[in-house]
Amino acid sequence: MFEEEKKQIVDMSLRLYNEQLIVGTWGNVSMRLHCENGEELYLVTPSGMEYEKTKSEDLVIVNGEGNIVEGHRNPTSELKMHIKIYKSINNVDAIIHTHSTCATACAVAGITIPMMVEDMVQHIGGDIRVAKYALPGSDELADYAVEALKDRNGALLKNHGAIGIGKTMLDAYKSCVLIEKSAKILICAKILGHINLLSTEDAQKMIEYYNNRYGQK
């Protein structure tokens, strides 16, 4: 059942681990599952398992209330946040939560990543906001994450890490990569002493182009 989706999560988890976007057992990955009967389920990574050792059989399927439908592991401790995002934001079928270094540094500093470079603006949809702080796994963190993700494909979680969302697993991955890359650029630019920002008008033109004309459409 949903073997292809399970493979996507296992493969992506290993990729995130190898690229040092996640370390050890921290961070989590999920996908929305569309069932033939119209029901929505959620495939999530297990809690507290090292990603380089996680197999398809370790993944967990839960329903909208967070109850386990399939699997023998405990689901990720950030399950509430994943479910809240899926229920609150349309057209999102994949979520990745990372603890990558530079993105987390910006999250700890409480610094929004401004509109600086085209790839970030085009894919994320604007600046990268910092969600208000709440304890990991809490209802409050889930609410704050949804708030920070409004009209965006990524956000920072204060004193915690980053979260990327997308229609596909690859889209969510791109969100996380661009958040980390943009955080590095911001830190380096601050060291150099000056940041030239994109105008709101130019940013909107870039987003419109990316959404409607970029690539092989």
Which residue is associated with the tokens 């961070």?
27
**How far is 16 from 96, CA to CA, in rounded Å?**
9
Which has the closest alpha carbon to 62: 38, 88, 82, 36?
A: 82
Task: Pull the structure tokens for residue 64.
Answer: 């909208």
**How far is 119 from 177, CA to CA, in rounded Å?**
11
Core vs surface per residue 186-205: b (16+ CB within 10 A) or e: bbeeeeeeeeeebeeeebee
Active site residues: 78
**How far is 197 from 115, CA to CA, in rounded Å?**
6
**How far is 94 from 165, CA to CA, in rounded Å?**
6
